[in-house]
Amino acid sequence: MDVKTGFFYLFSVVLMFSAFRVVTARNPVHAVLYLMLAFSQASAVWLLLGAEFLAITLVLVYLGAVMVLFLFVVMMLDINIDTLREGFWKHFPLAATLGAIVALEMAAVLMSGFRLSSAPKAVAAVAGAAPVSNAKALGILLYTEYLMPIQIAAAILLVAMVAAIALTLRQRKDSKAINPSIQVRVRAADRLNVVKVAATQAAPAPVAPEAAQENK
């Protein structure tokens, strides 16, 4: 067994362990951290398989954005752990059965002809010249043959982003936003009205008990 195969098995074992801890950890923060570890190990496996673009995308998108967002959300929310774990062992047999079926299917695919030594050879056909990296070959495909779909998708995403910003900044009746420029221009005479009152006032005359009963 060479060094590459050894690293492959090492990353795979750590990946399976972290994936198992994601669903068995009691603390949600620990579960998110184990999920980040699983994604990092999966990106390492992608690198060993020669798919460096997928590995970089996995690290940048999931580890750099989505998982950090999940971690902050889980840390800020007051999550009741006991409520989340209700019914875990009740549904565990079904989940274990489905996991075993998925594992057997993946093992069948791996044993049917998937080899680490067989590097992808579609790169040379795409580039039409000397073999290049997967990221470069993917860039050539995206910006030559699939240029129009990429531009349409970019325009749709841009419109969606502008619409989201417009919905966020729209004027609402129940909004309690504060305009700092109006606050700065406020004068004391506009907010404070000084009323002159006498320093001392005569106390009212005491009312006799008989008069008070007649008034009632």
Q: Per-domain residue ranges for the chain?
A: 3-119, 122-171
The dihedral formed by the CA atoms of 56, 61, 62 and 67, expressed in degrees to the nearest 10: 140
Helix, strand, coil abundance in the chain, percent, nearest 5:
70, 0, 30
- Paired tokens of 93: 């047999």
**pLDDT value for 155:** 93
- Give CA separation, 148 vs 22, 127, 152, 210, in Å: 40, 19, 6, 99
The mean pLDDT value for 33-45 works out to 88
Q: How far, in Å, CA of 53 to CA of 46, rounded?
A: 9
Summarised one tens digit per residue, pLDDT across range 100-159 is 998 888 888 777 765 554 545 544 454 455 577 777 887 888 888 888 988 998 899 899
Q: Count CB neighbours of 137 within 10 A.
A: 19
**pLDDT value for 14:** 92
Q: How far, in Å, CA of 102 to CA of 150, rounded?
A: 33
- CATH (one of 1.25.40.10, 2.60.40.10, 1.20.1630.10, 1.20.120.1200) for 3-119: 1.20.120.1200
The mean pLDDT value for 93-105 works out to 88
